[in-house]
Structure 1
């Protein structure tokens, strides 16, 4: 990772109060961090592939294969952890203040910064997705669904889930929740005394 470029981006972001410049700077920082993570992942895959090739000649190569697999797991582990933490911090900032960007940056300017195509802009308008959080995290329109800010937000969300005290987050597998069993529909009986009718409605 280009540390000099990253340091310069941090300096620019801290020195300006222009939300457009801040957003562009944060986006470039996310890109640097994500490219660094992708580079580490590629290096780990190379080691894992070497280990897999050695597995074909077991038991004679078992120790060497085990060693390579351990090297793959440990490869740049500290850099990986620090980069993920930094990326999650940016993602947390984007999600926290993302709903207020419309007050300082117009929708079209925001889409220009995020490199959102015209068809996706039309879709975003139809969906009512006008904030940074909507465009980047919920609908994933940034850079035609290949954005680095989305990954930053995902790391932030994962960190929130990981560190939240037990019982403070809803159970997604509970009845009626997104991954849980569906609840039976609620039936409400409404009696009209004047008309002498009984009507049932399902909610």
Structure 2
């Protein structure tokens, strides 16, 4: 299975814009994201095989320490360049979706997006009251594929949510501090909470 990096994705998108409708563009983007996540999962599964092989050697320590170290190291580096390309592409798509750079919400419309995202009727009614953007549907409310049961774990959701989540994590890691929200300011999730420094670089 071939991966797709951000540069290739942008070239495909620039070509597709000339001949595809917004709806088709959205379907194409979703398919590319799904394939990228599937490819990433495959590589992670292969890495786990190396870790399992290393674990099997534990009863024979210390005589197999070198072999174990080699397997663990291989599990960390296996197809690393591909994973980096996949992440770069997903982050790029995530930014695109959060900002709705293509104007999909307005062009496709609420009902059309609900169809494409497989949002069930009950959630559609709720979302019609609260959602006002593409990000509201796929990232804030995590409604993609809501017709099927999905994990409620933090950071997990549909394919488009995962791309947006990666983009947000990347932004938090790389944005200048002054651009980040004050988590303890007025109206924030932790407003009024006491912050105590228990040791250097650690807040509690």
Range class of TM-score, shorter chain: 0.7 to 0.9
In structure 2, the residue matched to 1:158 is 169
Give SS of 1:60's match: coil
| 5+ residue gaps, structure 2 | 151-156, 195-204
Number of aligned residue pairs: give it.
179
Give the distance between the partners of 1:170 and 1:3, measured in 2 at CA: 34
Q: 1:129 to 1:99 in 2, by over 3 A?
A: farther
Task: Identify the residue that residue 65 of structure 2 maps to in structure 1.
Answer: 62
Please list every run of 5 or more consecutive structure 1 residues that lacks an aligned counterpart in the other structure. 184-203
TM-score by structure 1 length?
A: 0.77
Aligned-partner Cα distance in 2 for 1:109–1:119: 16
**Structure 1 residues 161 and 50, CA gap change in structure 2 (3 angstroms):** same
Q: Cα–Cα, structure 1 residues 115 and 13, in superposed 2: closer, same or farther, change >3 Å?
A: farther
CA contact (8 A) 2:3 2:85 kept: no
Question: Does 2:115 match 1:104?
Answer: no
Distance 1:142 1:62 in 2: 46
Higher-Rg structure is: 1
Contact 1:13 1:25 in 2 (8 A): no
| CA offsets 1:162-189 (integer angstroms, 9 cap, x no match) | 21123331343x4664256537xxxxxx
Tell me the TM-score normalized by structure 2. Answer: 0.77
Q: What is residue 140 of structure 2 aligned with on the other side?
A: 138
Which residue in 2 is equivalent to 1:114? 117
Residue 200 of structure 1 corresponds to: none
Partner of 2:178: 167
Pairing of 1:188-203 with structure 2 (within 5 A): none
Is the CA contact 2:3–2:86 (under 8 Å) kept in the aligned structure 1? no
SS at match of 1:20: helix
Which position in structure 2 is the counterpart of 1:19?
Answer: 22
Correspondence for 1:201: none
Q: Which has the higher contact order (CA 8 A, sep 6+)?
A: 2
Counterpart for residue 87 of structure 2: 84
Which residue in the other structure is 2:160 paired with?
149
Deviations 1:47-96 (A, max 9, x none): 11111111232111111111100000001111101110011101101111
SS at 2:60's partner residue?
Answer: coil
Give the 3 Å change call, closer, same or farther, for CA 24–66 of structure 1 in structure 2: same
